[in-house]
Amino acid sequence: MLERYREAIRRNAMAHEQELFATPEVWALGSHAHTVSRRALLLWLVLTGHMDWSRELGDVLYAALTDGAQCAFSVYRYSEEGCPEETPYLRAARAELVRRGLAPEYVERAREAYLSEGTPWGKLERWTAPGEVVLLVDASTLALSPEVAEACRRVAQRVRPEVGLLAGVTTGYELYDLGLWDEAERAAREVAGGLQALGARLVVADSAEAAYALRRICPELGVELGCEVVHVSQWLCGLGDGLPPWRYEGVVTLHDSSRLGRGLGVYDPPRELIRRTGAQLRELRYHREQALPSGPTFGYPYPEAVEAIARRRLVEVLETGVEAVITTSPYARRNLRLVAPGAELRVLDLVEWLQHCWEG
């Protein structure tokens, strides 16, 4: 699986560690084994027959956040000999670990949950309604923040009462990122079939990960959806004057999700929606393409480090002096809420926040 990435691994293995700042797992775990260059060097040793696959190697590879921040900070990013993004080959390496039975235990538990209950989270309620425009609420949103799932449904039906709905399914993002590629393909095909059955021509993805999975991972797996995919922020912005009036007089900031931002290049629609409320948007020190991650998504080999990773991002948020931080990912919302200082700072999903603006 790794041979197609041989050159990318070689180049990153020889790079110096100038991306260290954008790799918070190094600081949280206290080991340089988690830098881009060290991870690449370990894989290079495997590729060249100087090291074997092992569970210990798996812990290092699964500790990577696969968020692409390091490449955004690389001084070599525009050079032909520069440092390529590591996420593609890290996911391929994880798939090889799965094939060899060397992945962390939580990966196997995710597989078993998906095969028995239909999502990595276990059994979840499913909602469906036909329509040419279908709001897709991913299983991760229902599992981590059911109130956000309800906000998405209410907001979508308020602006377009005829909108269809597909909620409680997994788009396969978590499965693919964990290296469970066969299961990810199966999940993607199930979603494609569900959308076709509902008559969808446009899919509105509720989260950064769902949008990324449908637009990037499905093509990687050879799955055709047969319809256009947009993130909910893009859809709402596109409605223009069709949106109901809302108002917010406070000061907020926006955490750019790695999957929505660097993954899909969607930066402006969330900001435009915030501006339309009249709120003052105060940017974080590192934002848009250089936004630092808030932490992992599904599972982590070092759970004790999750709060330390989130706290590095929280420091930036607190520096702005805002009263709320807006996210577009259920994982970012969860991670930042782990460390947010109670009532002093609200951590809200974008659509959840818009619902508050509309309904008070």
Please write the tens of the pLDDT for every residue from 233-283: 999 999 977 777 778 888 999 999 999 999 999 999 999 999 989 899 999
Contacts of 340 (CB under 8 A, 6+ apart): 314, 325, 346, 347
For residue 291, the tally of other CB atoms under 10 A from its CB is 27
343 and 269 inside one domain: yes
Are residues 265 and 200 part of one domain?
Answer: no
Tell which of 185, 211, 238 closes a domain.
238
Q: How far is CA 331 from the centre of its chain?
A: 7
Residues 82 and 137 in one domain: no
| pLDDT tens-digit readout, 215-226 | 999 999 999 999
Give the angle subtended at the CA of 297 by the CAs of 274 and 154, to the nearest 5°: 40
DSSP string across 19-83: TGGG-HHHHHHT-GGGSHHHHHHHHHHHHTTSS---HHHHHHHHHS----HHHHH-TTTTSTTS-
| Among 232, 215, 233, CA closest to 224 | 215
Whether residue 311 lies inside any domain: the answer is yes
pLDDT value of position 16? 66
Residue 112 is assigned to a structural domain of this protein: no
In angstroms and rounded to an integer, the radius of gyration of the C-alpha atoms of the chain is 20
Q: Across all residues in the chain, what is the average pLDDT?
A: 91
Give the Cα separation of 198 and 115 in Å (integer).
23
What does the pLDDT read at residue 191? 97
108 part of a folded domain = no
Contact 126, 168 (CB under 8 A): yes
Of residues 80 and 10, more confidence is placed in 10
Query: What is the rounded CA–CA span in Å between residue 101 and residue 78?
Result: 37
Query: The domain spanning residue 210 has which CATH number?
Result: 3.40.50
Out of 194, 221, 238, a domain closes at: 238
Shared domain for 168 and 223, answered yes or no, is yes
Domain-embedded: residue 328: yes
Residue 21, pLDDT > 80, answer: no
Amino acid at 148: V
- For residue 334, give the nearest of 233, 208, 227 by alpha carbon: 208
Nearest partner of 216 among 181, 263, 249, judged by Cα:
263
Same domain? 261 vs 331: yes
Q: What is the pLDDT of residues 60-101, one digit of tens each?
A: 999 999 888 877 776 555 556 667 889 999 999 999 999 999
pLDDT number for residue 17: 64
In-domain check, residue 46: yes
| Residue 115 covered by a domain | no
Same structural domain, 30 and 45? yes
Confidence of residue 15 (pLDDT cuts 50, 70, 90): confident
Say if residue 256 is in the same domain as residue 341: yes
User: CB 164: neighbour CB atoms within 10 A?
Assistant: 23
**Proportion of the chain above pLDDT 70, given as a percent:** 95
In this structure, the answer to whether residues 226 and 148 fall within a common structural domain is: yes
Q: What is the mean pLDDT of residues 54-58?
A: 95
| 355 and 267 belong to one structural domain | yes
* Token reading at 360: 């008070």
Cα 269 from chain centroid (whole Å)? 17
Residue 342: domain span? 244-359
Residue 46 structure tokens: 């495997």
- Say how many C-beta atoms besides its own lie within 10 A of residue 36's C-beta: 26
Structure confidence at residue 161 (pLDDT): 92
- When pLDDT is averaged across residues 333-349 and rounded to a whole number, the result is 90
pTM of the model: 0.94
The residue among 34 and 205 whose pLDDT is bigger is: 205
Average pLDDT over residues 201-210: 98
Closest-CA residue to 104 (of 112, 94, 93, 91): 94
Q: For a pLDDT cut of 90, what percent of the chain falls above it?
A: 75
Reported as a pLDDT band with limits 50, 70 and 90, residue 150 is very high
135 & 85 share domain: no
Whether residue 133 is contained in a domain is answered as yes
Q: Are residues 219 and 256 in the same domain?
A: no
Report pLDDT for 36. 87
How many domains in the chain? 3
253 with 231, same domain: the answer is no
Examine the pLDDT at 342 and tell me if it is beyond 60.
Answer: yes
Q: Considering only CA atoms, which of 17, 122, 138 is closest in space to residue 76?
A: 17
Give the residue from 223, 238, 253 where a domain finishes: 238
Determine, yes or no, domain membership for 161.
Answer: yes
The pLDDT tens digits of the residues spanning 120-131 come to 999 999 999 999
Are 36 and 83 in contact by the 8 Å Cβ rule? The answer is yes
